Amino acid sequence: MARPRTKRRKPDPIKAWVKRLDRTRPGLVIYVLDQLSGFYDRPTWERRWDPTSELVLTILTQNSADTNAERAYLELRKAYPADGLPQVHSPGPGWGGTGLPDGATPDWLQVEQVPLEELIEVIRPGGLPVAKAKGIQAALRFIREQRGDHSLEFLGEMPALDARDWLTQIPGVGKKTASVMLLFCFGLPLMPVDRHVERVSRRVGLLPKETAHTDPHDVFLAMLRPDQMYEAHVNLIRHGRRVCHAQRPEHERCPLRDRCRFVNPKAI
């Protein structure tokens, strides 16, 4: 009697990619991390701002320079001052801005509840004020309605992926924004992938081609150890900003050149 056919499960494309990379280009992850930390340094994690400020700043940086996001944040602080302890304000590695002076966080209740048109004018120096003002108010409203106030400190007690899922319920907050906030505020093991990280990683060959339709965030979570994520994020961003530019990347002074598939498609 013929045995009933068992359906073969489709292999997970992300696990398959990580396995293949390990087999065909052994040690590539460690090579990239070591070369970059020799070229820049090995960054050590340090909290920058309180989590609500970090989230608002990350929204302000969307499609804008970090220095413009800082200007907009300072305008928020000036327009809606709050009494409170000065925030931690170290610019920290990986942040492209110049750093913020001492001062309290803005009064988030006022920021949430002022008329939209007013908020748009306040954050105009940051660029794309309409979308960002709407995004900031929607995020603050969501947090207050769910939690009773605007604090996000509770996320630091949650497992990393649960905390990311909580944040991505907020309209306009995707995996990248949520991962930035959780990595920088709490050191949770998540890997934010912005355009610099993605460009360098695809060129070197850490990530599959875009046509593979795999989310780079998920590939990195499967590829890196938790203790490698902060370093990988910070140094890949530095490298994308300073050497591996979108136009005219500086291959000749690049520490990854020997194993980069962009300059040698057969590189191991």
Interatomic CA distance for residues 88 and 101, integer angstroms: 10
| Minimal distance, residue 65 CB to ligand SF4, in Å | 21
Q: Closest CB to ligand SF4 among 175 and 233? A: 233
Q: Closest CB to ligand SF4 among 69 and 256? A: 256
Q: For residues 165 and 191, is the Cβ–Cβ distance under 8 A?
A: no
243 lies in the binding site for ligand SF4 (CB under 6 A) = yes
Element of type H or E holding 117: helix 116-122
Which structure tokens are listed for 101?
A: 């002076």
| Minimal distance, residue 67 CB to ligand SF4, in Å | 24
Interatomic CA distance for residues 258 and 242, integer angstroms: 18
Q: For residues 105 and 89, is the Cβ–Cβ distance under 8 A?
A: no
- Helices 195-204 and 216-223 cross at an angle (nearest 10°) of 60
| Minimal distance, residue 229 CB to ligand SF4, in Å | 19
Q: How far is CA 155 from CA 131, 158, 186, 188, 249, in A?
A: 26, 5, 8, 10, 38
| Minimal distance, residue 27 CB to ligand SF4, in Å | 17
- In the window 193-232, what residues touch ligand SF4 (CB under 6 A)? 200, 203-204
| Minimal distance, residue 250 CB to ligand SF4, in Å | 6
Interatomic CA distance for residues 168 and 156, integer angstroms: 15
| Minimal distance, residue 204 CB to ligand SF4, in Å | 5
The 154-193 contact track toward ligand SF4, x by CB under 6 A, reads: ----------------------------------------
Greatest alpha-carbon pair distance for the chain in Å reads 80
Q: For residues 99 and 116, is the Cβ–Cβ distance under 8 A?
A: no
The region of 35-43, 123-131, 176-184, 256-264 touching ligand SF4 under the rule CB under 6 A is 256-264
Interatomic CA distance for residues 184 and 97, integer angstroms: 15
Q: Which residue among 115, 165, 250, 268 contacts ligand SF4 (CB under 6 A)?
A: 250
| Minimal distance, residue 201 CB to ligand SF4, in Å | 9
251 lies in the binding site for ligand SF4 (CB under 6 A) = yes
The region of 53-61, 127-135, 184-192, 257-265 touching ligand SF4 under the rule CB under 6 A is 257-265
3-state secondary structure of 8: coil
Q: Closest CB to ligand SF4 among 189 and 249? A: 249
The region of 21-29, 59-67, 140-148, 244-252 touching ligand SF4 under the rule CB under 6 A is 244-252
Rounded (5°) CA angle 258-261-265 = 110
Interatomic CA distance for residues 80 and 87, integer angstroms: 15
Q: Closest CB to ligand SF4 among 126 and 240? A: 240
**Residues in contact with ligand SF4 by the rule CB under 6 A:** 200, 203-204, 243-244, 249-251, 254, 256-257, 260, 262-263
